[in-house]
Amino acid sequence: MSLPVSAPLPEALVAELRGRFGERLHLGEGQRRQHGRSEAHFAERLPDAVVFAHSPDEVLGLVRACIAHETPIIPFGAGTSLEGHTLAVRGGVCLDLSQMNRIVAANAEDADCTVEAGVRREQLNAHLRDMGLFFPIDPGADATLGGMAATRASGTNAVRYGTMREAVLALRVVTPGGRDIRTARRARKSAAGYDLTRLMIGSEGTLGVITEVTLRLHPIPEAIAAAVCSFATLAGAVDTVVQTIQCGVPVARVELMDDVQVRAVNRRAGLGLPEATTLFFEFHGSERYVQEQAEVVGGLAAANGGGAFSWSNRPEERSRLWKARHEAYYAALALRPGAVGWTTDVCVPISRLVQCISETKRDLEASILPAPIVGHVGDGNFHVIFVLDPDRLEEAAEAERLNRRLVERALAMDGTCTGEHGIGLGKQEWLTAELGEAVELMRAVKRALDPKDLFNPGKVFALS
């Protein structure tokens, strides 16, 4: 994709922003570079300025100023996205929402809360703990909740608790028309008009800037247990997951690591696991119910070639296990010091999961690249992390080839090109392959709301 060159910010806009934000307006290369790179393999694309907002009113003022000067706006949370979502492909102003981190309200009786966009999920759960509630969506990174809504984030708990699509009750959004709107109230259901909340969830900052999020919460389970089991074959591990779901076991988390990824986390976290395909489980419920779930899944694992099924309800053991899982990306990069990561994901109907992962694994084993597989396989979603030498162009070409085969395979199985990473810059071609003419309807929505293409331009699809 060829990216346009940005023009310098208008002097009048700089003067207005300096008057509004003072020292929270940054024009220096340091902050611009920090906000112009991503966790993944994409080249830097620096904004012309970075502004830290402290309130929805400040966001509204900035948006109106940028609209008046026809300057792009790129919302930024924690910078943990993996498809280049926050890169300033046309320059403009990077609007950093991370300092909007106030928990506006937490309602124990209704099991919901409203937070500013910069609140992080770990911060929220620390606040909720004494109320006996928690927010379950866990993408791994300690992302901001506004960013999680904008990318329709998911993660390790999605198999039981769903994704941000199910978790968000309402949003407060500043629109490209310079309006500050609320998309819904706190009611658990509504038939009032268009579902603007779902329109904004997953829009990746292209239709508005999310400033507040109202979320559905859940009671902290009475008991939580984690389990780990290694398998002789990849197919045996995936079959265990499929059978667990088909049996109706309400497992909270079920994560897969292939042998390459297990070797990486062993090196980084010292887990000492057998270097074979491994499943990580977590069970939530009463003490007795958790034990029953673990016993059922242990039996399925044994029937599919699983080794010792080790489970524990000790918090320190669970924390160590999931910390290693959450750091899988960095463990993979450590396989090649100085490497960069190209992370991709797909999601398929669970009945096709064994075939999709097995065929992908055969491709990777025949490749020159180290490329671990890790996945939230309980809902058919898995990731491949291509570990690249940034100085070798042939490795980037090989990752492109393997990614193409992976996505084509998933689409042929009636799956999706991305289960949770989103489209951003990296998967625009595949969005069209997946949804066809529906993408033109998306363009029509974008043109209607943002005709000058100022909100996170160049993401999801090209407007023209």
User: Which CATH number fits the domain that encloses residue 203?
Assistant: 3.30.465.10
Same domain, 285 and 305: yes
Is 131 inside a domain boundary? yes
b/e 345-373 (16+ beta carbons within 10 angstroms → b): bbbbebebbbebbeebbeebeeeebbbbb
Quote the pLDDT of residue 450.
Answer: 98
Domain that holds residue 42: 11-98
Contact 36, 56 (CB under 8 A): no
DSSP code string of 387-439 = EE-TT-HHHHHHHHHHHHHHHHHHHHTT-BS-SSS--TTTTHHHHHHHHTTHH
Containing H/E element for 33? helix 29-34
| Domain edge (last residue) among 271, 297, 327 | 327
Is 257 inside a domain boundary? yes
All residues at 6 or more sequence positions from 193 whose CB lies less than 8 Å from its CB, including other chains = none
> Is the sign of the CA dihedral 393, 415, 154, 436 positive or negative?
positive
The domain tally of the chain equals 4
Quote the pLDDT of residue 455.
Answer: 98
Quote the pLDDT of residue 433.
Answer: 96
Same domain, 109 and 215: yes
pTM higher than 0.85 for the full model?
Answer: yes
| Domain edge (last residue) among 55, 79, 98 | 98
CATH code, domain with 411: 3.30.70.2740
Contact 296, 249 (CB under 8 A): yes
| Inter-CA distances, 343 with 42, 118, 234, 346, 374, Å | 11, 25, 20, 11, 10
Same domain, 364 and 417: yes
pLDDT mean values, one per 10 residues, the chain (464 residues): 61 97 97 91 94 98 98 96 94 98 98 98 97 93 95 91 96 98 96 97 98 98 93 94 92 94 92 92 93 92 92 81 85 92 95 95 95 92 95 94 98 97 95 97 97 97 88
How far is Cα 263 from Cα 15, in angstroms, rounded to an integer? 54
CATH code, domain with 29: 3.30.43.10
Joined together, the tokens standing for residue 177 give 């028309």
Is 437 inside a domain boundary? no
Joined together, the tokens standing for residue 78 give 């924690």
Same domain, 73 and 112: no
218 closest CA partner among 162, 179, 261: 162
Contact 324, 262 (CB under 8 A): no
Same domain, 316 and 342: no
How far is Cα 407 from Cα 162, in angstroms, rounded to an integer? 23
How many CB atoms are located within 10 Å of the residue 272 CB? 6
Is 464 inside a domain boundary? no
Is 316 inside a domain boundary? yes
Joined together, the tokens standing for residue 454 give 């100022």
Quote the pLDDT of residue 5.
Answer: 46
How far is Cα 289 from Cα 301, in angstroms, rounded to an integer? 18
Contact 458, 425 (CB under 8 A): yes
State the burial class of residue 129 (Cβ atoms within 10 Å of its Cβ: 0-12, 13-18, 19+).
exposed
> Can you list the positions of beta strands (E) in 258-380?
278-285, 310-312, 340-347, 373-376
Distance of CA 400 to the CA centre of its chain: 21
Same domain, 142 and 231: no
pLDDT digits (tens, 9 = 90+) for 10-25: 999 999 999 999 999 9
Quote the pLDDT of residue 6.
Answer: 52
253-257 and 218-219 beta bridge pairing: unpaired
| Domain edge (last residue) among 327, 355, 380 | 327
Same domain, 384 and 419: yes
Quote the pLDDT of residue 186.
Answer: 95
Is 456 inside a domain boundary? no
Same domain, 213 and 229: no
Is 1 inside a domain boundary? no
Name the DSSP letter for residue 44.
Answer: P
Quote the pLDDT of residue 3.
Answer: 46
Same domain, 143 and 172: yes
How far is Cα 237 from Cα 88, in angstroms, rounded to an integer? 41
Same domain, 318 and 361: no
253-257 and 373-376 beta bridge pairing: antiparallel
Residue carrying structure tokens 């008046």: 68
Joined together, the tokens standing for residue 108 give 């124990």
Q: What is the dihedral of CA 34, 36, 38, 42, to 10 degrees?
A: -140
Is 451 inside a domain boundary? no
How far is Cα 187 from Cα 190, in angstroms, rounded to an integer? 7
Same domain, 202 and 260: no
Contact 103, 119 (CB under 8 A): yes
Same domain, 193 and 251: no
pLDDT digits (tens, 9 = 90+) for 304-342: 999 988 877 788 888 888 888 888 999 999 999 999 999
CATH code, domain with 232: 3.30.70.2190
